[in-house]
Amino acid sequence: MKKMFCPVVFCCLCFWRLVVFAGTDAVKTVSAMEGDSVTLNSGLTEIKAHDIITWTVGLSKTKIAQIDKDAGISSTYDDVPDGRFRDRLKLDHQTGSLTITNTRNTDSGDYQIIIKRTSNPATYNFKVTVYARLPVPVINRNCSSSSSSSSCSLVCSSVLNVCDATLSWYAGISVLSSISVCDLSISLSLPLEVEYQDKNTYSCVLNNPISNQTTHLDINTLCHTCAGTTALMIYVCVY
Ligand SMILES: *[C@@H]1O[C@H](CO)[C@@H](O)[C@H](O)[C@H]1NC(C)=O
Ligand SMILES: *[C@@H]1O[C@H](CO)[C@@H](O)[C@H](O)[C@H]1NC(C)=O
């Protein structure tokens, strides 16, 4: 009689290992654009009796939300760790999923859900990255560059206060050059030399992993700016 229980016990152990280890290994990556909402899915369709769902943030595992069915608790704790989540946490009382609204760069980081259902607690980790909204890059002629009379020196630039952005020159759909710097409050600038008669379609693109901003180059308009300025200065002096 006792022997018959062995496979059952063994299977239960297997299942327990599966739940625990599948949970701890996988890190789900979630991205959002600054200002948008991001939802961390519990993976549950309903909260059952005796379930305890706990959401934490950071390495300190600060509790930011909890559903404790038996205790009748279903709350967010948005005053911890430092009030940065105030009024921005929404807990789905049906599924236990957590939504962070109006995201900020400081919401980037590690989050964890611990699902305690009877005796099989499962842990799922999330890595949240909030990307800044990108400004539109600006193309100017570089008048201090001593380029040949048939060509025009241009520079595309952008001012950022975040990492993870790349500035590139495209000719059609081919990348000509790129620059990417990770620093605080930086201005990225990338030069391009074109011939006046060039028939390519050039564009300057600022992108991060989830979005981009593009400015198209109009050679006819931009490549006459320097001459225009000089003519104006001469006109003013003569007058
Ligand atoms: C403009 O061209 C000059 C000379 O080539 C260069 O030293 C300067 O860095 C350029 N300016 C920008 C903003 O790239
Ligand atoms: C910019 O984003 C749009 C979608 O928003 C995409 O279709 C396009 O390919 C992107 N361009 C570049 C150069 O990444």
Q: Residue 34: which pLDDT band, with cuts at 50, 70 and 90? A: very high
Q: Report how far ligand 1's centroid is from the alpha carbon of 140 (Å).
A: 11
Q: Report how far ligand 2's centroid is from the alpha carbon of 212 (Å).
A: 6
For residue 80, CA distances in Å to 23, 62, 77, 181, 231 come to: 25, 7, 6, 33, 62
Q: Report how far ligand 1's centroid is from the alpha carbon of 194 (Å).
A: 15
Tell me how long the chain is: 239
Where is average pLDDT lowest: 31-35, 66-70, 71-75, 157-161? 157-161
Task: Give 119-133 pLDDT, tens digit per residue.
Answer: 778 999 999 999 989
What's the pTM?
0.72
Query: Which residue do the tokens 């710097």 mark?
Result: 181
Indicate which atom in ligand 2 lies nearest the CA of residue 170: 13
Contact 202, 187 (CB under 8 A): no
Nearest-angstrom CA–CA distance, 124 and 144: 56
Nearest CA to ligand 2 atom 5: 211
Nearest-angstrom CA–CA distance, 140 and 158: 11
Task: Give the sheet arrangement for strand 98-100, strand by strand.
Answer: 38-40, 98-100, 89-91
Q: Residue 111: which pLDDT band, with cuts at 50, 70 and 90? A: very high
Strand, helix or coil at 198? coil
Task: Give 45-73 pLDDT, tens digit per residue.
Answer: 999 999 999 999 999 999 999 999 999 99
Indicate which atom in ligand 1 lies nearest the CA of residue 142: 1
| List of residues 6+ apart from 199 with CB closer than 8 A | none
